Chain A
Amino acid sequence: MLEALSYDFIQNALLAGILVSIASGIIGSLIVVNRMVFLAGGIAHTAYGGIGIAVYFGLPIFLGASVFAVLSALIIASITLKHRERMDTFIGLMWAVGMAIGVVLIDLTPGYQADFMSYLFGSILAVSQADLWFMGGLLGLIVSIMTFWYRDILAVSYDSEYANLRGINVPFFYTLILLLSALTVVVAIKVVGLILVIALLTIPVYIAEKLSHSLFSMMLLSGLFSSVFTLFGLWFSYEYDVASGASIILVSASSLFLFLGVGKIRG
């Protein structure tokens, strides 16, 4: 294992794993407390349409996926703010259509089939320098937004009606949470793939929620757990030569069951 650390791509993978884990710990906490898990799933799958478009037109993949994810977040925000009762139907629709666009455009791209699986299940070992900059930039953005607007985001998440009465712009912060979720989903796709994104955004968060007295400590713990699971998953994937994304999720899920089991025994 130690000699592996001297490879550039392993170093990149470890750094990417930690950056994405912290980002998904913070945003995953917001997604869970706001009951937006299904929304995040919708955004992740819609983003696949963006990947298809980027591949077909030869654009950078991250760019395509980000633009598509951000657009879908804006559409979902405007729908849920106006027609909350029809929200699940619209998200299901976008989920399926986004995937379909992605699949068709990748099929139409001449000679391109090889990397198809890497977007579904992640390709953390293929993280480039540019990807790392993107991940670091996003984490910086998330941390600064949370620092400046923590109290507003907390108020909107806990009790949006009351937040509105206190003069907080609820639609703005709701949209902001969805936008940050969209961008986090895009970088998490690189690590675990879009099918497993939801697990990365929820499993560490679920454990952290049980141990936390405040949203802040929940975010901190989620980021920590997520980093540990990701690094351990990477080691497992290297040692036994199995897919990295799935290894990370299995490590996370095993930890969750262990956590729940210990909780049960202790009563």
Chain B
Amino acid sequence: MPIIEIKNLSFSYEKQTILENIDLEVQEKDFLAIIGPNGGGKSTLLKLILGINSVKNGTVRTFGEAPKKNLAKIGYVPQNTNVNTDFPIKVIEVVLMGHIGTKRPLFGYANEEKMCALGALAQVGMEKFANEKIGSLSGGQRQRVMIARALCAHPQILILDEPTASIDVEGQKQIYELLEQLNSHITIIVVSHDISVIMQYANTVVHINKTLSSHEISNLKSEKNDHFCEVELFKKFKEKK
């Protein structure tokens, strides 16, 4: 059974159609990359999977149920993590936000929750920064903290919206290597513009611009003998199958 199943999904804001007849299945341990132009509906699709926006036409099922029922099983790393950097909050407190709060004590955080948050920070290599102010970190470090926050609830799916948008090349590489590692037990969905980078890690790429076209990476690689030009590739993604 696919862990995410989208059938015949359409979505519009006011009268503007954002998504049209989307069909998509995500299997366990997939590494799915979503590409496409700005305003093409990538973030909207994520918000529908997360249950932030409600589905009006078509169906979205996560783990066979309505998206809102399975929030705890999905970790989310939002698009812009450079906002609100003046906010007086410690790294560990940001990560603790990731708990869904089922084991919460009367005041503050349970020890179990704190240990779990520190564990998530260690997973992304940021445990040394637990008591730093979030604003004092670099963009790449902050992004890893946001991934730790998403990992805090032990999700089965991790969804990232342009995780490397404002990060230097070294930081990008670290993040993708981390995602590759996590992919051994977690399904990853990532919206990205870095086509050439994403090719090394993803097993499926979908291109979204109102409608969706899907491509298996392995097929593309064999067609091109492991060598491909980014522009050609991008054209290929836009083609309908």
Contact = CB atoms under 8 A, between A and B. Distances in A.
A158 interface: yes
Nearest to A164: B52
A218 B84 contact: no
Contact of A167 (B76, B93, B100): B100
B218 to A, nearest CB: 33
A215 B71 contact: no
A212 B98 CA distance: 22
A174 B150 CA distance: 23
B131 A213 contact: yes
A151 B90 contact: no
A158 B76 contact: no
Interface in A139-161: 147-148, 150-151, 154-155, 157-159, 161
A237 interface: no
Interface residues of A, number: 25
Q: Decide if the interface of chain B is mainly helix, strand, loop or mixed.
A: loop
Interface stretch (B101-109, B120-128, B168-176): B101-109
Given A161-B52, A162-B78, A213-B131, A167 B101 contact: yes
A214 B88 contact: yes
B96 interface: yes
Contact of A158 (B87, B100, B108, B131): B87
Contact of B88 (A155, A161, A166, A209): A209
Contacts of B107: 147-148, 150
B69 to A, nearest CB: 11
Interface in A60-108: none
A215 B96 CA distance: 14
B88 A151 contact: no
Contact of A159 (B86, B90, B97, B101): B97
A217 interface: yes
Contacts of B84: 158-159
A161 B94 CA distance: 13
B101 A213 contact: no
Contact of A165 (B71, B86, B104): B71
B52 A165 contact: yes
B87 to A, nearest CB: 6
A33 B78 CA distance: 20
B97 A163 contact: yes
B99 interface: yes
A130 to B, nearest CB: 32
A166 B90 contact: no
A212 B108 CA distance: 19
Which interface residue of A33, A158, A164, A168 has the most chain B CB atoms within 10 A?
Answer: A158
A214 B76 contact: no
Contact of A154 (B89, B99, B101): B89
Nearest to B76: A165
B71 A218 contact: no
A159 B96 CA distance: 12
Contacts of A162: 76, 78, 97, 149
A166 B87 contact: no
Contacts of B101: 151, 166-168
23 contacts: A33-B87, A33-B88, A147-B107, A151-B96, A151-B97, A154-B93, A154-B97, A158-B87, A158-B94, A158-B97, A161-B78, A162-B76, A163-B97, A165-B52, A165-B76, A166-B71, A166-B101, A167-B71, A168-B101, A209-B88, A213-B131, A214-B93, A215-B89
Given A33-B87, A159-B97, A213-B90, 9 more contacts: A147-B107, A151-B101, A158-B97, A162-B76, A162-B78, A162-B97, A213-B132, A215-B87, A215-B88
Interface of B: 50, 52, 71, 76, 78, 84, 86-90, 93-94, 96-101, 104, 106-109, 131-133, 149
